Amino acid sequence: ARTAAVIPAAGRGVRLGPGAPKALRTLNGTPMLIHAVRALAASRAVSLVVVVAPPDGAAEVKSLLDAHALPERTDFVVVPGGGTRQESVRLGLEALPPEYRIVLVHDAARPLVPVDTVDAVIEAVREGAPAVVPALPLADTVKEVEPAGTPGDPEPVLSTPSRARLRAVQTPQGFDREALVRAHASVTGEVTDDASMVEQLGERVVVVPGHEEAFKVTRPLDLVLAEAVLARRRL
Ligand code: CTP
Ligand code: MG
């Protein structure tokens, strides 16, 4: 089965602070989106990459892709995104030709994911899981709280889930394309990842080992870490 990657890159990056849309910010001189596209196209299994651009930025993203060296065996398509990540992913899925039966969804904001992680996700989908997520054990203990009405107020703790059973999930998440399309057509509530939509359909979702370099660039300190990782790789 052929495998495509959808890369949602339409977010503003509010938590990163003022500036260009997050995916277009540079890491050691190269836009984050280009790092992310290269990371997915590095997998020999991925033959199509659909980039979901900021709503008014599709032309700019197309010229960025043209300006950077990318593998010739991979096709690239750019579509404009939507107001939420969920909407952007749906718009990306609509651009997929029918022959792609496996689809990866990968945040442009995780530009440094190693190809071995990408391949491990694809392999688990090929082996029959409808949804596969890379994930890592947590370093911190997590508390469930009653959120404060006023920011900064003390918050009562309700429970402490056993850390050994928790995982922090990353991308690329891999799917049987049909299962993901069905999830996007039927799940309406707020979600923060694609696998949870497939979970809501009652489908089996499995976790495979993630990688610390697949962290999400969210806040300014993450830019420092990403550039240090690239420097260590000499990129
Ligand atoms: N994303 C998207 N369309 C949106 C919102 C987010 O394609 N309307 C993408 C982002 O570009 C990013 C990924 O979803 O690659 C993960 O989202 P996040 O890290 O939250 O990025 P932003 O939404 O851009 O950041 P923030 O929430 O800080 O504004
Ligand atoms: Mg966001």
Q: What confidence tens digit (pLDDT) does each residue in 106-148 have?
A: 999 999 999 999 999 999 999 999 999 999 999 999 999 999 8
106 in contact with ligand 1, CB cutoff 6 A: no
pLDDT higher than 70, residue 235: no
Peptide bond into 172 cis (omega under 30): yes
Q: Does domain 2-233 have CATH number 3.40.50.1010?
A: no
CA of 109 to the centre of ligand 1 (A): 7
13 in contact with ligand 1, CB cutoff 6 A: yes
> How far apart are the C-alpha atoms of 57 and 106, rounded to whole Å?
19
Q: What confidence tens digit (pLDDT) does each residue in 58-89 have?
A: 999 999 999 999 999 999 999 999 999 999 99
Q: What is the mean pLDDT of residues 21-34?
A: 97
- Residue 20 CA: which ligand is closest? 1
Percent of the chain with pLDDT over 70: 100
What is the model's pLDDT at position 189? 87
- Does this model's pTM top 0.95? My answer is yes
> How far apart are the C-alpha atoms of 235 and 225, rounded to whole Å?
14
pLDDT higher than 90, residue 166: yes
Q: Residue 215 in contact with residue 110, Cβ under 8 Å?
A: yes
82 in contact with ligand 1, CB cutoff 6 A: yes
Domain range annotation of the chain: 2-233
What is the model's pLDDT at position 29? 96
With the CA atoms of 105, 106, 109 and 114 taken in that order, what torsion angle do they form, in degrees rounded to the nearest 10?
170
Ligand 1 atom with the smallest distance to the CA of 216 is 19
- Residue 16 CA: which ligand is closest? 1
> What single string gives the DSSP state of each residue in 13-56?
-GGG-SSS-GGGSEETTEEHHHHHHHHHHTSTTEEEEEEEE-TT
